[in-house]
Amino acid sequence: MSYKKTAAILFLVMLLMVGGVWYYQFRISPPDPEDAHVVHHVLDPEEKQQVTELDLRAFIDPLDDHPEHVEEEPERLPDDRMITSRFIQDLASLIFGHYQPGVFPGEKGRLTLSFKELNMHYATDLTGLRYEEQEVLKAREEIFGHLLQPQVIDLVVRRYGPDLIEELIHLAGNNPRELPAAQGTEKRLLTRHETEEMLELLAQRLDQLSFVFQRTIQDERVLQWVEDYLHTVEELNSVYFEYWQLEESENARRDELSARIKQLIMARENVRSKIVDQVSDAQIRDEGHDVVYEAQWIFRRIEKGGFSRESILAMAGAGRDLAGIARDWVQEMTGNDVQTAE
């Protein structure tokens, strides 16, 4: 064999080896996305049938491999140690039972649950809450001590807020109620429109409570007014008690106490008016919500319970957050209604 033929054969073998190595390397490992000089490899039809799905992604767009393209799973929030699903069901049932839809066409529904009723409900009935204390009052203190921490408030709303709204929707669609009708009453489920209205009314009430909580805690005068109000009411009750214990012959003392009662009533209403004007708006006043009671509750948590202003502000924020969750569901339900109509 001539020298030229031998050289040609060796050159051909080396060329095939280099080509094989090049093909194997780039067929197994996709190019480095950071290499700016990388270009897309064009495959002929037969090659396309031979590459795997992973290889094909590397050849088609080796630069499209960034974290923003990866969809992360929703964060799984931890359960609270005191709250159970039974509590969420009980709270939803309480809200659901206080929604009254309109009777006549065009009549708006009402959510009649007040903050006072809510507080009184859980004053003695701690359904669905875990605690260690045996006495109810101490158990409430234990529960407040845990749940009224700012970081816990935020976590609880994010963890259980959607569950509460979903439970309300479940009740509306599965639990018939005896409801007022044009002719007496009728037992039926809530309509889709009524369910949306119930959630919107809940969102409005939560916004109102958040407003009251924030205004109460941001103006230091309010808590002082609340304290003055409570002292006035306490003295008024004491004077009333003495007044009704007087003998018929004690006219002078009766006149003296009567005058004092009038003074105390005026003082009570004066400070009450200051509280209402400072912590409410026109809509809250028109709807007749007892903002003085709500301000008293805040006062007791801070002055008697030792909780911080940050806890009250966290509750105000949590109310707005839960209102937002309720409105998100309303928007989703309304969107579904539009798509169905189309």
pLDDT by residue (tens digit) across 150-209? 999 999 999 999 999 999 999 999 999 999 998 889 999 999 999 999 999 999 999 999
Q: Is 337 a member of any domain?
A: yes
Q: pLDDT value at position 20?
A: 44
| pLDDT over 60 at 273, yes or no | yes
* Same-domain check for residues 235 and 173: yes
Which residues are CB-contacts of 126 (< 8 A; sequence separation ≥ 6)? 136, 139, 140, 143
When mean pLDDT is compared across 27-31, 76-80, 317-321, the lowest value belongs to 27-31
Q: Is 33 a member of any domain?
A: yes
* Same-domain check for residues 139 and 49: no
User: Which of residues 69, 97, 124 is at a domain's end?
Assistant: 69
Residue 242: pLDDT band by 50, 70, 90 thresholds?
A: very high
Looking at the structure of the chain, the number of domains it has is: 2
Q: Is 79 a member of any domain?
A: no
> Residue 24 sits in which domain range?
3-69
Please give the structure tokens belonging to residue 89.
């069901």
Q: pLDDT value at position 73?
A: 61
Q: Is 50 a member of any domain?
A: yes
* Same-domain check for residues 63 and 93: no
Q: Name the pairing type of β-strands 99-100 and 185-188.
A: unpaired
Which residues are CB-contacts of 111 (< 8 A; sequence separation ≥ 6)? 95, 98, 99, 100, 198, 201, 202, 205
* Same-domain check for residues 295 and 188: yes
Q: What is the mean pLDDT of residues 263-287?
A: 97
pLDDT averaged over every residue in the chain: 83
On whether the CB atoms of residues 199 and 327 are closer than 8 A, the answer is yes
Q: Name the pairing type of β-strands 110-111 and 99-100.
A: antiparallel
Q: pLDDT value at position 71?
A: 53
Q: Is 289 a member of any domain?
A: yes
Which residues are CB-contacts of 161 (< 8 A; sequence separation ≥ 6)? 321, 322, 325
* Same-domain check for residues 180 and 289: yes
Question: What values do phi and psi take at 331, rounded to 5?
Answer: -65, -40
* Same-domain check for residues 36 and 144: no
Q: What is the mean pLDDT of residues 223-250?
A: 96
pLDDT tens digits, 210-232:
999 999 999 999 999 999 999 99
Cα gap 294→284, rounded to integer Å: 12
Q: pLDDT value at position 340?
A: 54
Proportion of the chain above pLDDT 90, given as a percent: 71
Q: pLDDT value at position 86?
A: 98
Proportion of the chain above pLDDT 70, given as a percent: 76
Please give the structure tokens belonging to residue 69.
């393209």
Q: What is the pTM of this model?
A: 0.76
* Same-domain check for residues 129 and 253: yes
pLDDT tens digits, 14-58:
444 444 433 334 444 444 443 443 334 444 444 444 443 334 333
Q: Is 316 a member of any domain?
A: yes
For residue 19, how many C-alpha atoms fall within 13 Å in the half-sphere facing its CB?
6
User: Which of residues 43, 69, 95 is at a domain's end?
Assistant: 69
Q: Is 77 a member of any domain?
A: no
* Same-domain check for residues 109 and 256: yes
Q: Tell the burial category of 305 from Cβ atoms under 10 Å away from its Cβ (0-12, 13-18, 19+).
A: middle
* Same-domain check for residues 51 and 113: no
* Same-domain check for residues 235 and 264: yes
Cα gap 203→334, rounded to integer Å: 16
* Same-domain check for residues 10 and 148: no
User: Which of residues 69, 98, 125 is at a domain's end?
Assistant: 69
Q: Is 75 a member of any domain?
A: no
Cα gap 168→88, rounded to integer Å: 10
* Same-domain check for residues 61 and 91: no
